[in-house]
Structures are given as structure tokens and as C-alpha cells.
Amino acid sequence: MIPVIHTLNIVLPILYLVTFLTYVYDFVEDKSLFRNAKRLFLFITILIQVFYLFARTIEFNHPPITNKFEIFTVLAFSLACCYFVLELITDIRGTGIFILFLSLVFQIISTIFIQDLVSVPEVLRNRMLGMHVISALLGYSGITISAVQSLLYLMLYHSLKTKKYGLIFNRLPNIEILEKLSFNSMIIGFILLTISIFIGIVWLPEAFPNFSYYDPKLITTALIWVLYSIGILLKLTSNLYGRKFVNFSIAGFIIALFSLILGNVLSSSFHTFY
């Protein structure tokens, strides 16, 4: 199994690169040959990565969340997966390159630095922890995609306001759609983040004797959750729309990112594994 895992570790960034390039080609060219094929490339890449992640879990007897570089491949996967679901639901294919670029970068870093860890702390072998981390990663992928869609909204808005009718104007869907995509991604991210928090609250006190509700990571995650729930509520009550909403989405993502970094830097609690 290990040779297969090593081969897939090399193959995955290549697959991401090919998928990314097909999305780029289709974005730049009118009536490209890859209009439908690019989705197939993405599907195959996701499928192979699912196999790769399962193979690692079985072979090393722990979910691939025990170090940063395992997390990176899961992050690449969750971003691609969230985008794929979004593309299938909405059939809007013009924003893929901006999201798959992130997946490509994460996968390349992972491929270069990932190691075959067999001996890891016992707690990291726990399936509940796996579900907790993976749902958190998928949740953060959702809000990342929401922020990317919001950024594209602002780019198109700028293009329309300054009357620069170039590639952005020609290839991106309209700003209403981008706002909708951003909101849908936020909803997906929020639901998964909620699941992750729920699993964490139920399971963590049992697993860690030194569990504390004042853990910085717990507090920042809770604050992020509250922030997004307020945003979603305002959006649903039509008080937050258009540019205000996309600005909120980008600000929310930046706050979430810095909170996570700060939480990790300041924290030396039970919530730190590597």
C-alpha cells in the first residue's frame, strides 16, 4: 500500500495542476474544448484524493490530520470538494480557477513535506477527532470559498464601475450570482463549522481531562461562529446585501484567519497537537 500512497502523493499535485490549467484555459478562451471536460478532470482528482486519504488512514492507522502537511492535503481536498458541490448545484463554472488555485498550492506544499507517520499520540487516532477536524476544515473551506466569490464580486463591481470590459467582465457570472454563490458557500461552511463545534463540545471534555472552555481556540471559533450567524441572519432578513454582504464575507474570512493564527500562537493548551 505504501508505494501506492507515495505514487498518489506525486500524482495528486499533477492532477490538480492539469485540472487548474483546464479551468484557466476555459476561462481565457471562448468556446474552449474543456468546457465540460474540466468538470470531469476535477471529479477524477477528487475521487483519487478520496482514495489517497482513505489509503493513508488505513495504512497509518490514523486519520490524515496529525500534522500540518496532512491537514494541507485535506484542506486542498475540502476546498476542491466544496467548490465541486457548488458548481454542480449552480452550474456556474466561471469561478473555479480562483478556488482550485488554492487547492493546488495546498496540495503541492503537502506533497513536498508530508511524512509517513506511524507513531502518533493515541488521541489523534480517534475517529471522533477525525470527524471534528475534517468537518472544521470543510467549514473553513466553505467560508474561504465565500470570501473568494466575494472578492470576485468586488472585481466585477470595479470593472463595471470603471467600465473596463475585459476578461473579468466577459467571463465571470453577474454580480447577483456571485453574491448568491458567496452566500451559499457561507451557509455550507457555517453548517459544517456548527457540526464540528458540536462534535467538539460533546467529545472533547471526555477525551481530555485538562479540557477548558476558556481555551483560546475554542473562544475564537465560538466568536467566528457568532459573527457568521449574525451575518447570515442579517442576510436572510434582507438587511445585508450587495456590496455590504460581500465586504462582510471578506472581513469575516480575514477575522477567522487571524483568529485561528492568533489562537494557535497564543495557545499551548490541550487543543494543540503539533
Partner 1 sequence: MNIILVSINHKTAPIEIREALHLSNNEIVDFIGILKQNYLLEGLILTTCNRTEILGIPKNTILIHDKIIDELINFKSVTGIKKEHFTSYFSCSAVKHFFSVAGGIDSLIIGDSQILAQVKEAVQISEENKFVSYYLNRLFDTAIRVGKRSIKETIIGEGAVSISYAAVQVVEKVFANLYTKSALIIGAGETAELAAIHLRNKGVGRITITNRTKAKAEKLADKIHGEIIPFEFFKEYLHNYDIILSATSSNGYILEYTDIKEMMKKRRYSAVCIMDIAIPRDINPITSNLDNVFYNDIDSLKMIVDQNIKKREKEIPVIENIIMEEMVNFFSWYNSLDVIPAIKNLRSFFEQIKEDELNKIRHKVTEEDFVKIEEMSKRLIGRLLHNPTLKLRQLSENGRNYEETANSILLIKEIFNLNLEDK
One symbol per residue from 184 to 223: x for binding partner 1 (CB under 8 A), - otherwise; what is it?
----------------------------------------
Print the SS3 string covering 80-108.
HHHHHHHHHHHCCCCCHHHHHHHHHHHHH
Binds partner 1 by CB under 8 A, chosen from 3, 10, 31, 209:
31
Q: Using CB under 8 A, which of the segments 75-83, 105-113, 163-171, 260-268 binds partner 1?
A: 163-171
Separation of alpha carbons 4 and 128, rounded Å: 27
Binds partner 1 by CB under 8 A, chosen from 54, 169, 198, 273:
169
Task: Kindly state whether residue 35 participates in binding partner 1, applying the rule CB under 8 A.
Answer: no
Binds partner 1 by CB under 8 A, chosen from 24, 109, 160, 201:
160
Contacts of 33 (CB under 8 A, 6+ apart): none
- The three cell numbers of residue 143 are 467560508
Q: Which amino acid is at 120?
A: V
Separation of alpha carbons 56 and 72, rounded Å: 14
Task: Kindly state whether residue 243 participates in binding partner 1, applying the rule CB under 8 A.
Answer: yes
Task: Kindly state whether residue 86 participates in binding partner 1, applying the rule CB under 8 A.
Answer: no
In the complex with partner 1, which residue's Cβ is closer, 161 or 214? 161
Task: Kindly state whether residue 54 participates in binding partner 1, applying the rule CB under 8 A.
Answer: no
User: Counting Cβ atoms within 10 Å, is residue 141 exposed (0-12), middle (13-18) or buried (19+)?
Assistant: buried
Whether residue 138 contacts residue 83, with contact meaning beta carbons closer than 8 Å, is answered with no
Task: Kindly state whether residue 180 participates in binding partner 1, applying the rule CB under 8 A.
Answer: yes
Q: CA angle at residue 51 from 45 to 55, to 5 degrees?
A: 140
In the complex with partner 1, which residue's Cβ is closer, 186 or 240? 240
Per CB under 8 A, residues contacting partner 1 are 30-31, 156, 160-161, 163, 165, 169, 173-177, 180, 241-243
